[in-house]
Homo-oligomer: A and B are copies of this chain.
Amino acid sequence: MENQKDQDEVYMRKALVEAEAARAAGEIPVGAVVVCDGRVIARAHNLTETLCDVTAHAEMQAITAAANALGGKYLNGCTLYVTIEPCAMCAGAIGWAQLKRIVYGAGDEKRGYRQFAPQALHPKATVTGGVLADECRALMQQFFQERR
């Protein structure tokens, strides 16, 4: 069996594929997947421009899709992988969904939940940050540099 770090990187690569898809669509490149019992049950990327909807963050759509896949709105047994630290909105949704494990790539000093909503997650949730952080961050930096 792989160790947790290797496994986290495998799933983060799937989230990165989603982030790439966002970039290809002209969206801020953030991707997310939800994993349950070793299976990816939801994949999503940021669609705020395409949908003209500030709530269409990768995590929000991944949570909605995962609940749909499971047929229940709570995701207690699942892990969310997302390329960038969730914002306050997404952290709130993660809390409501009772997700117990969150793995993110690069931190977000400007809008990340750690600063704006540090208690929004479920009290029993564990968080792992920094997985493939350089790759996750590079996608974002490249996106914003191209738009300057």
Residue of B nearest to A49 (CB): B73
The main secondary structure of chain A at its interface with chain B is helix
Contact partner of A64 (CB less than 8 A), chosen from B49, B55, B73, B95, is B55
Q: How many of these chains are in the complex?
A: 2
If A48-B73, A54-B96, A88-B117 are given as contacts, then 7 extra A-B residue pairs at C-beta distance below 8 Å, sorted by A number, are A52-B71, A53-B67, A87-B92, A88-B95, A89-B96, A92-B116, A92-B117
For residue A88, which residues in chain B have a CB less than 8 angstroms away from its CB?
88-89, 91-92, 95, 117, 120
Q: Does A34 contact B (CB under 8 A)?
A: no
Number of residues in A with C-beta < 8 Å to the partner? Answer: 30
Contacting pair B96 A67 (CB below 8 A): no
